[in-house]
Chains A and B, each alone.
Chain A
Amino acid sequence: MKLRSVTLNDVRQFTSPVRVAGIGDGVNLLSAPNESGKSTLFDAIHAAFFIPHRSAKIKSLRPDVGGNPEIEVTLEDARGLLTLRKRWGRGPYAEVWRGGQLVAKADEAEAQIAALTQSPADGGPAGLLWVRQGITALDDTDKAAVKTRQDLLTSVTGEIAALTGGKRMDRALARAREELDRLVTLRGAKAGGPLDSAQKTVAALETRVTELTDKATKLRAALGERRAKRRELAELTDPQEVKTRTDRLTQADAAFKAADRHASQLQAAEAALKAADLALQAARREIDNRTRTAQAIETLTAQSSTAQSAAEAADARATEAQTALTKATDAHAAARKALREAEVQMQAALRIEARRAEVARHAQLSETLAQAETLAATLPALREAAATGPDARQLQALEDAAKALAIAEGLAQATAPHLTFTPLPGAPTVSLDGAPLDSTPHAITQAVTLDLPGLGTLSIAPGAGDAPDRLARAQDDLARALAQAGTDAPEAARRAARARGDAAQRLKEVQEALKRLAPEGIDALRGALARLAPQDVPEAPDLTTATDAVERARAAETAAELETARLRPACDTAREAAFGARHEIGALTRRLADARADLAEKPDAETLNQALTQADAQRQTAAQAHQALAAGAPDLTTSRAALSRAQSVVKAADDAINALNTALAGLDATVAHLSGEGVEEDLADATARLNAAQATRDAHEREVAVLRCLISALEAAQSAARDRYFEPVLTELRPMLRLLWPGAELSFDGDSLLPVELLRDGRIESIGTLFWRHARADLAAGPAGLCPAAGAQRSACAGDSGRRAGVHR
């Protein structure tokens, strides 16, 4: 079987398909610069053969940018070409193709691929010896280890591991941790783990033991109580005990019955004595009754006599009272009659008085009518006069006009020229408008003519102005007012106006007088008068006399009435007394009759005395009999109490037996239930299981202690080894690393050596070589016996992404 080609896709730096073909028979040389992918090619071939397609251990082949590595390897064997195809990550598959046909998939394909690596001796077709890069010397003993070391750093790690315990240390630690993890976590027993299970079992069994102990205690208590109650029941139902109780009851019952019988006899004697007492008392009462009856007859007889006398006296008083009353009644009747007669006289006097008043009224009405008619007769003239002459308005208008004329005349007088004539002595008389002119001033308000004897005439005319007009209008107005007033002068008008006012006043007075005299009119007055026809007034006693007579008669009647009223109660009382006395006599008579009849019915005194003597003898006999019985009477109360006690004892015993039987039934049920369950067997079993479980738990806890002790020892030793052996190496190595990568840091992470993903292949190889050589040199110079024995024959070469070593930049 020969390799013919390899195709990579998404394998490390080959993110697109790359095919290496043309691999021929014999030795093939693959030569390329560092970082070209030589190692990748070999790793891919290795993965195709040794890493299952579903494995996650393919991360180192995955490109940095991500992807699902795919590898196809073509082989040639005697049967032709064989193609292996695998993909890891998403959509993983494994296929085996032969001659262009798919012959196996998935696990079957993996099985066929695995078979390809087996040697013919093992039944395989070829026998693929996979020698990793860098391995130049292999020995049989380390073959298994060598197979797992894939690179230089693994080799280096192996050396380091030799100092820190190596894989054996890892295995021991892993086993110890694995077993410890199975038992505990940081917080305690691991849930579901053996220790947790043991603890829970112990807890459950402790609970179970507690419960069963309670039940067993309850059962024990029930058994104990049942034993006690059974003993008690046995004692109560013991035949001797029962017989004792029964005998006591029987004796008490007999004693009680005897006492009861005696008590009955005593009671009978008491009754007989009581009866004798009663008979004696009855006999005595009979005698007493007879004596009392006889005495009553005597008493009643005397009372009857007395009552008779009293009745007669009462009758006399009644008769006397009746007589007086009759007289008073008659006097009263006469007084009433006189009163009625006086009242008739008085009524007649009243009627005559009324007729007199009517006559007086007629005369008054006649006078009034005459006055009214007289006044009425003046009315027309008064109305005429009241309507004649200026009325108030006209008079006011006249007065206004007169006033205006006076003002006008005054004004004219004031404004007119005044003529004053002073004659010389002996001068002729001068006349003015024919009248001698004196020496007083004259106002010339209108044209005048002076007659001057001897001289002629002189005419004087007032000058122009409105005074004359005004005076003229005033005069006209006055003239119209006078005309309207029907007069020719203001004074006449004023008189006429006063006459009109006086007539109006008089008219009003007449009318008011008429209204008083005949409010409803004269005709009504005449009608009323007509209805009062004048009659003759007969002679009659006067009203005062009649009234006095009535008063006197009424007083007499009242006095008679009072007298009658005064006498009637006394009369009634007397009559009632008389009646009562008679009634008393009747009652006494009946009682006396009854008493006599009663006495007649009673035995005679001798007979009664004999009966009394006999009853007294019988009573003495009964008393003696009772005394005899009472003297020897047993105490019934005591015997009844004794019987009651005996009955109580029996009843209490019966009740106790019933209660015990009931309680025992319950206890039987409890015991049967609990014992039927096998509580004590369960308890013993649970206790044993608990002990075993506690032992198991203790063993697990001891196991934890042992494992922790071991892990602690291993970790301490491993840590100390690292610190002791590798820190100096790292100290020396760091400066050299920094020559290659300034700032690079080399360190342990405490768990594994220097995990880093930065460097691969040649770089790792270089670092690994450097590291290994320094380590070797350092260790060789270290303490004897602690130098690792492994790796002395190995050299370092090649490399890949060492998981356990690296360089930090």
Chain B
Amino acid sequence: MTDGFRFLHSADLHLGRRFGSLPEGVRGRLIEARHQIIARLAQAARDHGARDILLAGDTFDSETPADPTWRQALLAMGADQGLRWWLLPGNHDSLAAEALWDNIARIAPPNVHPLTQAAPVDLAPGVTLLPAPLPRRHAGRDLTDWMPGAATAEGTLRIGLAHGGVQTFSEDASDEGIIPPDRATTAGLAYLALGDWHGQMTVGPRTAYAGTPEFEEFRHAGRGACLAVTAYAGAVPQITRVETGQFDWTEQPLSLVPGQDAAAALSALLPPPGAGRRDHLLRLRAQGRATLAEQQALRDAAEAAAPEFAFFALDTATLDTEIDAADLDALDHGGALRVAAEALAAQARDPARAEDDRRIAAGALNRLYAYLSEGA
């Protein structure tokens, strides 16, 4: 097979995730985007000239997804019978989810193939898929250990498909069942398609994590993607990243120092203005120190920018307040206001106080500043 075998490698669709931690308004869009990712993957496969789409586990977010979740997913996969979907049970949708895999085996469209056995599957003449389905959520062992011993005809292009960590970055932080990073070599695999890690990662020239095609949290920045792979017998596969995610997830620290233009610093972290912001989820964690005025400016800038984003959160919990005389003068030069402000400032600075009490005092001072600034 000198032309190589083309296929699409993806994983961790986590269909059925609800995004309960996010505001109501964006949940529906994210859920819909997860469903639409099937069509996006199909399109990516077509664009890549691939017939087979290998999903390396966690197609579903739970072992018992709601009927609409898996039924609609199967319908979406069956929309293009020119494509073949190979579904590997992952830790979230392991074979312990008997109902799910029974149902899929029972009513899946002809082009959807659940891989519930650790046995070779012929993908094409001379091309064999060696899947390593997870029998349960925590496999407890390396499920790819059978691959080296899997007998295939001489010259067969062997493609491994597995779900789990090659290091302790597993989503479930489990040390068990670590896949040897050199499994592709030891098993004579042209390519080992892995799932579990939601970000894309190339483990070796023949081994890669495709990552989730549509991100669902801030852990991995950017947009989700899949891998278009052309595997060759005896040669390094050609791996191409194909961006498929609709939503861009960004979580960044916003480090401030007194005297810095906080609003400008915030603005610098924002994506360029435009319609794309609507599909952007942004979480900024302000840290460092800022004066009352700077914090007010930061809040104002965040408040102004937030509505443009699908989700916008500015976390100032760890931003310390720099209290300077100018801020206090801005509150009042004298009188009770000044006295109150100085009392709050003293509490915020008092090392004898608990951290939380100091932050509350600083918050009160910021709040006073905001109130007085409203009518200024």
B22: Cβ under 8 A from any A Cβ: yes
Which A760-809 residues have C-beta < 8 A from chain B? 785-789
- Residue of B at shortest CB range from A162? B335
- How many whole Å from A209's CB to the nearest CB in chain B? 10
Q: Is the CB of A685 within 8 A of B20?
A: yes
Which A678-703 residues have C-beta < 8 A from chain B? 678-682, 684-692, 702
Q: Is the CB of A692 within 8 A of B22?
A: yes
Q: Is the CB of B368 within 8 A of A714?
A: yes
Chain B residues near A685: list those with CB within 8 A: 17-20
B2: Cβ under 8 A from any A Cβ: no
Given A681-B61, A702-B360, the answer on whether A691 and B21 have CB atoms closer than 8 Å is: yes
How far does the alpha carbon of A153 sit from the alpha carbon of B349 in the complex, in Å?
A: 40
B107: Cβ under 8 A from any A Cβ: no
Complex partner residue of A687 from B16, B20, B68, B365, CB under 8 angstroms:
B20
- How many whole Å from B138's CB to the nearest CB in chain A? 14
Q: Is the CB of A169 within 8 A of B100?
A: no
Which B83-141 residues have C-beta < 8 A from chain A? 96-100
How far does the alpha carbon of A355 sit from the alpha carbon of B251 in the complex, in Å?
A: 174
Which B319-352 residues have C-beta < 8 A from chain A? 332-341, 343-344, 347
Q: Is the CB of B20 within 8 A of A684?
A: yes
- Name which of A39-47, A468-476, A655-663, A715-723 contacts chain B: A715-723
Chain A residues near B361: list those with CB within 8 A: 709
Q: Is the CB of B65 within 8 A of A681?
A: yes
Chain B residues near A692: list those with CB within 8 A: 20-22
Q: Is the CB of A714 within 8 A of B336?
A: yes
Given A172-B337, A710-B344, A718-B336, the answer on whether A675 and B65 have CB atoms closer than 8 Å is: yes
How far does the alpha carbon of A680 sit from the alpha carbon of B63 in the complex, in Å?
A: 8
Q: Is the CB of B65 within 8 A of A710?
A: no
Main secondary structure of the interface of B (DSSP, over half): helix
Q: Is the CB of B360 within 8 A of A223?
A: no
Complex partner residue of B368 from A163, A164, A172, CB under 8 angstroms:
A172
Q: Is the CB of A681 within 8 A of B66?
A: yes
Chain A residues near B96: list those with CB within 8 A: 223, 227
Given A671-B99, A709-B363, A710-B344, the answer on whether A165 and B335 have CB atoms closer than 8 Å is: yes
Which A255-295 residues have C-beta < 8 A from chain B? none
B372: Cβ under 8 A from any A Cβ: yes
How far does the alpha carbon of A692 sit from the alpha carbon of B21 in the complex, in Å?
A: 5
Chain A residues near B344: list those with CB within 8 A: 709-710, 713
B76: Cβ under 8 A from any A Cβ: no
B287: Cβ under 8 A from any A Cβ: no
- Residue of A at shortest CB range from B376? A168
Which A628-683 residues have C-beta < 8 A from chain B? 668, 671-672, 674-682
Complex partner residue of B360 from A162, A687, A706, A785, CB under 8 angstroms:
A706
Q: Number of residues in A with C-beta < 8 Å to the partner?
A: 55
B364: Cβ under 8 A from any A Cβ: yes
How far does the alpha carbon of A691 sit from the alpha carbon of B17 in the complex, in Å?
A: 15
Q: Is the CB of B367 within 8 A of A707?
A: yes
Digitize B191-210: 1 where CB-to-A-CB distance is under 8 Å, 0 elsewhere.
Answer: 00000000000000000000
B62: Cβ under 8 A from any A Cβ: yes
How far does the alpha carbon of A18 sit from the alpha carbon of B66 in the complex, in Å?
A: 82
Q: Is the CB of B16 within 8 A of A169?
A: no
Interface residues on B, range: 35 or more
Q: Is the CB of B64 within 8 A of A786?
A: no
A202: Cβ under 8 A from any B Cβ: no
Q: Is the CB of B337 within 8 A of A169?
A: yes
How far does the alpha carbon of A230 sit from the alpha carbon of B365 in the complex, in Å?
A: 66
Complex partner residue of A680 from B64, B335, B336, CB under 8 angstroms:
B64
Q: Is the CB of B98 within 8 A of A227?
A: yes
Main secondary structure of the interface of A (DSSP, over half): helix
Given A168-B375, A688-B20, A702-B363, the answer on whether A163 and B336 have CB atoms closer than 8 Å is: yes
B371: Cβ under 8 A from any A Cβ: yes
How far does the alpha carbon of A668 sit from the alpha carbon of B341 in the complex, in Å?
A: 67
- Residue of B at shortest CB range from A174? B371
Complex partner residue of B65 from A165, A678, A688, CB under 8 angstroms:
A678
A171: Cβ under 8 A from any B Cβ: yes
- How many whole Å from A776's CB to the nearest CB in chain B? 15
B67: Cβ under 8 A from any A Cβ: yes
B170: Cβ under 8 A from any A Cβ: no
How far does the alpha carbon of A715 sit from the alpha carbon of B84 in the complex, in Å?
A: 72
B174: Cβ under 8 A from any A Cβ: no
Given A172-B372, A176-B371, A721-B339, the answer on whether A678 and B20 have CB atoms closer than 8 Å is: no
Chain B residues near A219: list those with CB within 8 A: 64
Given A166-B335, A706-B367, the answer on whether A676 and B360 have CB atoms closer than 8 Å is: no
Chain A residues near B43: list those with CB within 8 A: none
- Residue of A at shortest CB range from B331? A168
From B20, B22, B360, B361, residue with most partner A Cβ within 10 Å = B20
Complex partner residue of A226 from B98, B337, B340, B371, CB under 8 angstroms:
B98
- Residue of A at shortest CB range from B361? A709
How far does the alpha carbon of A717 sit from the alpha carbon of B363 in the complex, in Å?
A: 18
A705: Cβ under 8 A from any B Cβ: yes
How far does the alpha carbon of A179 sit from the alpha carbon of B20 in the complex, in Å?
A: 28
Chain B residues near A165: list those with CB within 8 A: 332, 335-337, 340
Q: Is the CB of A713 within 8 A of B21?
A: no
B185: Cβ under 8 A from any A Cβ: no
Q: Is the CB of B20 within 8 A of A676?
A: no
How far does the alpha carbon of A702 sit from the alpha carbon of B19 in the complex, in Å?
A: 25
Q: Is the CB of B337 within 8 A of A684?
A: no
A337: Cβ under 8 A from any B Cβ: no
Complex partner residue of B21 from A163, A164, A688, A705, CB under 8 angstroms:
A688
A19: Cβ under 8 A from any B Cβ: no
How far does the alpha carbon of A553 sit from the alpha carbon of B343 in the complex, in Å?
A: 170
Q: Is the CB of B335 within 8 A of A688?
A: no
Complex partner residue of B371 from A171, A716, A787, CB under 8 angstroms:
A171
How far does the alpha carbon of A690 sit from the alpha carbon of B20 in the complex, in Å?
A: 8
Q: Is the CB of A710 within 8 A of B99?
A: no
B255: Cβ under 8 A from any A Cβ: no
Digitize A170-203: 1 where CB-to-B-CB distance is under 8 Å, 0 elsewhere.
Answer: 0110011000000000000000000000000000
- How many whole Å from B309's CB to the nearest CB in chain A? 17
Q: Is the CB of A678 within 8 A of B67?
A: yes
- How many whole Å from B351's CB to the nearest CB in chain A? 18
Q: Is the CB of B367 within 8 A of A686?
A: no
How far does the alpha carbon of A162 sit from the alpha carbon of B339 in the complex, in Å?
A: 12
Which A131-184 residues have C-beta < 8 A from chain B? 162-166, 168-169, 171-172, 175-176
Chain B residues near A682: list those with CB within 8 A: 18, 66
Q: Is the CB of B17 within 8 A of A684?
A: yes
Jot down 10 A-B pairs with beta carbons below 8 A, ordered by A: A176-B367, A176-B368, A668-B99, A681-B18, A689-B20, A692-B22, A714-B336, A718-B336, A720-B336, A785-B333
A contacts, CB < 8 Å to B: 162-166, 168-169, 171-172, 175-176, 219, 223, 226-227, 230, 668, 671-672, 674-682, 684-692, 702, 705-707, 709-710, 713-714, 716-718, 720-721, 785-789
Extra inter-chain contacts (4) besides given A692-B20, A713-B341, A788-B334, CB under 8 Å? A165-B332, A227-B96, A684-B61, A714-B337
